[in-house]
Amino acid sequence: MAKRTVVVTGAGGFIGGHLVSRLLHSRSVQVRAVDIKPFSQWQQIFDTAENLQLDCSRLEECEIATKDAGYVYNLAADIGGMGFMTNNKARCMLSVLINTHMLKAALHNGVERYFYPSSACVYAAAKQQDTKVTALREEDAYPAMPEDGYGWEKLFSERMCRHFREDFGLVSRVARFHNIYGPYGTWDGGREKVPAAICRRVIQAKLSGNHTIEIWGDGQQTRSFMYIDDCLHGIDLLFNSDVEEPLNVGSQELVSINQLVDIVEGIVGLRLSRTYSLNAPQGVRGRNSENTRIKKYFCWEPCIPLAIGLEKTYAWIYDQIVSGRQSKD
């Protein structure tokens, strides 16, 4: 029997690269890895995959990406950390072209199952105004008032997946990710997420001897962070399930940004003097994942402790910095 072709868009990015690696360990699939970036800029690239440089905001290139494919994981998006999202709302929203055209191409080419990674940024802002936030349930996305720009695009694209399933029979699965981190992610240049940014700043403080660190906001804002291995396991469970509604995939280990810095300082054995940039982008005051549904469906939830995941992430970023490498995004 011929191997089933599985498409991963955004394969040159953080989650996409890890997902390609995981899929390649299966003998029953052939992986088609797709990204708009030149191959030299991919976070990870594998010779055993079919690697294509395509712009998935263009319908004709989505048709190429999905030709003869059985499954699609559409991870492509123009995205970064809070600073990028705050200053690039239109660019973030233009990612709607990617999901719209990938859905159309997947339907046209007879794709059996389609995965879309949504975000905790879809949740209503009014429910995230306290650092001691009540964990967000899936139904808290409505009435809709998501994060401007990126959050609106994610919520709209969730609905597109739903209606393609209802109207045309394209089976789709949607995960709402909560702050994924780990090795092989962007760690500088303006698109990095908070855990990578904090690791980089602590490393730079250690190497330079200037034992100070700048924190965006007052450091009291709270989040949960999910290590990449938990993310991949959650994708696998959800993609192969009968769960049709969007589902939280995130850790419930709520920490403040100050506590996040504490953990990284503990890894290094160094205490830094902190300065706070109160006018820098910082997002909502508090956000956490409510995991009742994922535990109900799978008897599982993301469980890798933040301290363990950060230690691995720190070690990888440290190696990049001391070897003189630059982040690829």
Give residue 17's identity as a one-letter amino acid code. G
| pLDDT, tens digit (0-9, with 9 covering 90-100), for 274-306 | 999 999 998 999 999 999 999 999 999 999 999
Look at residue 324 and tell me whether its pLDDT is greater than 90: no
- The encoded tokens of residue 147 equal 């994060």
- Residue 234 to residue 147: CA distance in whole angstroms: 24
Angle formed at CA 9 by CA 7 and CA 15, multiple of 5 degrees: 110
Give the torsion through C-alpha atoms of 93, 40, 225, 312, to 10 deg: 180
What's the pLDDT at 179? 96
- Residue 61 to residue 67: CA distance in whole angstroms: 10
Of 73, 150, 227, 318, which one is the catalytic site residue?
A: 150
Instruction: Please tell me the chain's helix, strand, coil percentages from 3-state DSSP, rounded to the nearest 5.
Output: 40, 20, 40
What's the pLDDT at 3? 63
What's the pLDDT at 327? 73
| pLDDT, tens digit (0-9, with 9 covering 90-100), for 218-242 | 999 999 999 999 999 999 999 999 9
| pLDDT, tens digit (0-9, with 9 covering 90-100), for 11-33 | 999 999 999 999 999 878 899 99
- The encoded tokens of residue 103 equal 């859905």
| pLDDT, tens digit (0-9, with 9 covering 90-100), for 51-109 | 999 999 999 999 999 999 999 999 999 999 889 999 999 999 999 999 999 999 999 99
Look at residue 251 and tell me whether its pLDDT is greater than 80: yes
- Is 114 assigned a catalytic role? no
- Residue 200 to residue 318: CA distance in whole angstroms: 8
What's the pLDDT at 328? 75
What's the pLDDT at 280? 92
What's the pLDDT at 216? 95
Provide, rounded to the nearest whole percent, the portion of the chain with pLDDT above 70: 99
Helices 194-208 + 257-268 axis angle, to 10: 40
Look at residue 2 and tell me whether its pLDDT is greater than 70: no
| pLDDT, tens digit (0-9, with 9 covering 90-100), for 160-196 | 999 999 999 999 999 999 999 999 999 999 899 999 9
What's the pLDDT at 304? 98
What's the pLDDT at 329? 66
Q: Are strands 247-249 and 171-177 parallel, antiparallel or unpaired?
A: parallel
Q: Backbone phi, then psi, for 88, in 5-degree steps? A: -140, 50
DSSP 92-117: HHTTHHHHHHHHHHHHHTT-SEEEEE
- Residue 326 to residue 14: CA distance in whole angstroms: 15
Please, what is the end-to-end C-alpha distance for the chain in angstroms? 39
pTM here?
0.95
What's the pLDDT at 326? 73
Q: Are strands 222-224 and 171-177 parallel, antiparallel or unpaired?
A: unpaired
Give residue 280's identity as a one-letter amino acid code. A
Give the torsion through C-alpha atoms of 149, 154, 157, 163, to 10 deg: -120
Cβ atoms of 182 and 313 within 8 Å: the answer is: yes
What's the pLDDT at 10? 98
- Residue 48 to residue 40: CA distance in whole angstroms: 16
- Residue 274 to residue 258: CA distance in whole angstroms: 9
Look at residue 1 and tell me whether its pLDDT is greater than 60: no
- The encoded tokens of residue 236 equal 């696998």
Residue with tokens 């990870």: 44
Which of the pair, 2 or 163, is modelled with greater confidence? Answer: 163
